Structure 1
Amino acid sequence: MGFIRVRFGVYNPVNPGDVVEVEGLVDTGVIYTVVPRSVLDKLGVKPLERRRFRAFGGYVERDVGEAGVVLMGRRRTVPVVFGEVDEIVVLGVTALEAFGLEVDVVRGSLREAELLMLLQSKVGRSPQFQG
């Protein structure tokens, strides 16, 4: 399978009207979405914490915050990594899950995922699996 490129909007949840469009790769092996720090700073998105990531055989530390993403006509808030200069924009798996999307490897695109839910009808009874 080749890489899947996707265009998506990024916004500050405090000011959802100001959206910046970016293009990046979809990577189901990456947990968080990576957006250039310059874009997040322009939108006024603030880091909430600093996290350690394994990358290229070593470790790096990056700021992490919450930003809004516009994808396929819908909006969700997702964790984002403040990408450094020359780092690739990536749409990570937490964003895909938040949007209920999955990668269609045959078509090289995103598609609606079949959403699963665990149901339990009464307290003390075994869960009922639907599917």
Structure 2
Amino acid sequence: MVKVKLGNPVSKSREKIVDKALVDTRSTFTVLPRSIATKLGLRSLGKRRVETANRSQVLDQSFASIEIDGKNTVTPLLISGTLDKILIGVITLEALGLMVDPTKGTLKDTETLLL
């Protein structure tokens, strides 16, 4: 679990949310519970069909500002009505220049490649 700070990049006056999140290296996108997306005032910008461990479902797409380990970016994300925790996906990790260190179970800096 990592500490994250989330915000609405369009409406800076909205509250920021600080919470714990699970880093999921099998997830492409970061996923927020709908309750957190609502608190942040995030709008749905479309829908995306995703495959989960249990079934296929359609989730709302949006974006948010996110900070982990003092690094921040604006990241695309999905909003779930069934998930109760924040999942950090690979797109967000790469945008922040972070990767999982499997030997320590922590995040570490990584180089950004433009190939």
TM-score, normalised relative to structure 2: 0.89
Tell me the residue number matched to 1:16.
12
Give the total of aligned pairs. 114
* Unaligned stretches of 5+ residues in structure 2: none
Q: Distance in 2 between matches of 1:97 and 1:34?
A: 15
What do you get for the CA RMSD once the two structures are aligned?
Answer: 1.5
**Larger RCO: 1 or 2 (CA < 8 Å, sep 6+):** 2
> Gaps spanning 5+ residues in structure 1: where?
119-131
Percent of aligned positions that are identical: 32
Are 1:49 and 2:46 counterparts? yes
Q: Do the aligned residues in 2 keep the contact of 1:103 with 1:110 (CA within 8 Å)?
A: yes
The equivalent residue for 2:73 is 76
The alpha-carbon deviation at position 58 of structure 1 amounts to 2.4
List structure 1 runs of 4+ shifted beyond 4 angstroms: none
Structure showing greater radius of gyration is: 1
Equivalent position SS for 1:64? strand
Shift of 1:57: 4.4
1:54 alignment partner AA: E
For 1:117 and 1:76, how far apart are their aligned partners in 2?
18
TM-score normalised by structure 1 residue count: 0.79
